[in-house]
Amino acid sequence: MKEIGCQLLVIGAGPGGYVAAIRAGQLGLDTVVVERARPGGTCLTIGCIPSKALIHAADEFHRLTVMATGASPLGITAARPAIELSRTMAWKDDIVGRLTSGVSGLLKRAGVKLVAGNARFRDGRTVEVETETGLQVVRAEQIVIATGSEPVALPSLPFGGAVISSTEALALEEVPKSLAVVGGGYIGLELGTAFAKLGAKVTVVEAEARILPQYDAELTRPVARRLAALGVEVLTEARAKGIVGGGKGLLVETGGKESRIAAASVLVTVGRRPVTEGFGREELALDMAGPFIKIDEQCRTSMRGIFAIGDVTGEPMLAHRAMAQGEMVAEIAAGHKAAWDKRAVPAVCFTDPEIVTVGLSPDEARAGGREIRSGLFPLSANGRAMTMESDAGFVRVVARADNHLVLGIQAVGQGVSELSAAFGLALEMGARLEDVAGTIHTHPTQGEAFQEAALKALGRAIHI
């Protein structure tokens, strides 16, 4: 049995853990990170990056499919495209490989020791790691738990065979003829849309009254319309009851009635749950917040010297939140003053069209008892959006009525994910409507819709 000591030990090398470790190394802390799978975590290996690769491939394929029908308004016709999904997956795997070895390289450059294996707490200062070459004991002055999350299974649809999670969906070698997606949230709609564009007959089974229930209805309407145009059937207030006919279909209950839908594969995407078992949590006395590890504004847990970051600490379960927490915790561990004082965590849903939210929606802002002003600018009045055949959607700005401080910005439209940086910056810098309206936005870009939405809220939009 080998034993090492360090100042900071990080468990899990996902976006939370690897960023914490790199920053800690940069700050001169003797740092060890333990990872049982591949560096990069869910995000790089089975989440954000592979899903966006598949979405891109599906978009390209679908564009050519439309051109092959002669229906493209651009006057372009093309031969009917074909796809070898196994080659698409190999291309995706190459991107993942480059990124995960990039993370290993960054850890090395920061002087961080990466230990491969499963970590388990022995006590609040000691962790043992089952490595390929035997047990490695790591004693640490401070520890960061960054164990992430995993897909939730449904009792009626346990994973296995035709019932898959996002991990298996992102490794399919062939496009299924029919795909039932249980859960019309982030993953279900991002991947469901991609497989529909690749030619699968997709049915979404959502328990709530509408898809993406966490967003306001105005934002999700263009997505619902596009799904319909792509031939995706959406069943709302519906429950999946189980597989029927030897794995050839899915039994669904809607409004008390049972029906069977075609499903060569059933993708279950009903949420993710924090990984709080399997690392010896029972050896510790950590307070919990529901299923998550409870943390304060410095990501400290209830035990001195133990931090927790990322998906294991709660919503929103997003990679950039985990990274920001990771960076902050490294600063604190190195003795610097820092606390979570972010004004907003932007969120993007990479559906077609994409949805961006930063800060408060109009309803959330009103719920605080505030008087608000909001301005909405449709992309149908934006020149750049028209030239890209992407004029469905809008940008909406929400501000305080009294001093015009921007409280929230939302957008729905093709490619609007790239506007999220400008939206986040405006909120973080405490911009007022006049700041956004008075900033020269490049023409022709979709960003002009942000400026116009601010002008609209001020009652002086130019282009509408």
Binding residues for ligand FAD, rule: CB under 6 A, are: 11-17, 34-37, 41-43, 47-48, 51, 118-119, 146-149, 166, 187, 275, 278-279, 310-311, 317-320, 322, 350
In the complex, the smallest distance separating the C-beta of residue 277 from ligand FAD, rounded to whole angstroms, is 9
In the complex, the smallest distance separating the C-beta of residue 260 from ligand FAD, rounded to whole angstroms, is 27
* 14 near ligand NAD, judged by CB under 6 A: no
The torsion angles phi and psi of 392, rounded to 5 degrees, stand at -90, 125
When the beta carbons of 34 and 181 are compared against ligand FAD, the nearer one is: 34
Burial (CB < 10 A; 0-12, 13-18, 19+), residue 313, is buried
Nearest to 18 by CA among 36, 3, 35: 35
Q: How far, rounded to the nearest angstrom, does the alpha carbon of residue 216 sit from its chain's CA centroid?
A: 18
* 270 near ligand NAD, judged by CB under 6 A: yes
Residue 270 interacting entry, from ligand NAD, ligand FAD, none, C-beta within 5 to 8 Å by type:
ligand NAD
* Among positions 60, 168, 208, 428, the unique one binding ligand NAD when judged by CB under 6 A: 208
* Among positions 9, 110, 205, 455, the unique one binding ligand NAD when judged by CB under 6 A: 205
DSSP alpha helix (H) spans, 27-170: 41-46, 48-68, 85-109, 166-169
Tokens of 360: 């408060």
Q: Could you tell me the end-to-end alpha-carbon distance of the chain, in angstroms, rounded to an integer?
A: 71
Per-residue x/- mask for ligand NAD, residues 140 to 169, rule CB under 6 A? --------------x---------------
Q: What is the largest CA-CA distance in the chain?
A: 72
Name the active-site residue from 56, 320, 443, 463: 443
Q: What angle do CA 325, 331, 334 make, to 5 degrees?
A: 140
Q: How far, rounded to the nearest angstrom, does the alpha carbon of residue 122 sit from its chain's CA centroid?
A: 33
Burial (CB < 10 A; 0-12, 13-18, 19+), residue 26, is middle
Q: Is 441 among the catalytic positions?
A: no
* 349 near ligand NAD, judged by CB under 6 A: yes
DSSP assigned state of 223? H
Residue 331 interacting entry, from ligand FAD, ligand NAD, none, C-beta within 5 to 8 Å by type:
none
Judged by the rule CB under 6 A, the positions of this chain that interact with ligand NAD are 154, 182-188, 190, 205-208, 213, 239-240, 269-272, 316-318, 347-350
Which sequence positions are flagged as catalytic? 443
